[in-house]
Amino acid sequence: MKIINCLLLPILVAGLNAAGADDAAKRLERASNVFATLTKSGHDIRADQLDRADCIAVIPGFKKGAVVVGVGYGRGFISCRNGGAWSAPAGIALESGSLGVQIGGEEMDLVILSLDNERRAKLLSDRFAVGSDASAAWGNGKSAHDDANAKIVFYGVTKGAFAGFGLDGATLKPDESGTEALYGKKLSNSAVVDGGASTPDAARPFIAQLAHASGR
């Protein structure tokens, strides 16, 4: 099964990158809408976690694989607090070769909160392994991985039925093509987030949503 996953994930990633329909501006717009929906009164994301979050990533349209194969991939953007204000966003991707139990729904929207600023540098690095680099949980209790001590908290919604998926083994890493499309040049995630990059016009609604929801 691991061999199948290793073979299929690069094919899935290459296909999504080549498609080009979900360009950076469209993903930012979708990310802004997803975050606005999940932070409205009566919805999932807890205000106390938003207040504590050092970094927030939004991945709209995470593609879930089949129950047997279980590969998944999604692209979005991450922003972190700098002196209380939210930084310009950098592209980020979530990959998983083993999503565990799934029921219905081929696609879901994800919001990821990092509640531990000590792991910020690693979160912005070339590879952040969920489970080994930091404990993770579903903030809305969608799976058995719900953990009050988690340093990374996931929230997810999907149009289909959803039973949650295992987070251990998932990997967050820079979406270099997404960042380059947004800024017009190659930049590392740390250079964007910690380097004081100016927020592009296309990203302003997304950053405004983060600031509004977190009261910053």
What's the CA gap between 33 and 6, in Å, rounded? 32
Residue with the two structure tokens 């953007």:
77
184 three-state secondary structure: coil
Question: Tens digits of per-residue pLDDT, 99-129?
Answer: 444 444 467 788 888 887 888 888 898 888 8
pLDDT value for 216: 60
Tell me what the pLDDT averaged over the chain comes to.
76
Note whether 107 and 88 are within 8 A (CB): no
> pLDDT per residue over 81-102, tens digit each?
998 899 999 999 988 755 444 4
Entry pTM: 0.79
pLDDT of 178:
94
Q: Where are the domains of the chain?
A: 2-214
pLDDT attached to residue 167:
63
Question: CB of 191 within 8 A of CB of 94?
Answer: no
Average pLDDT over residues 41-49: 71
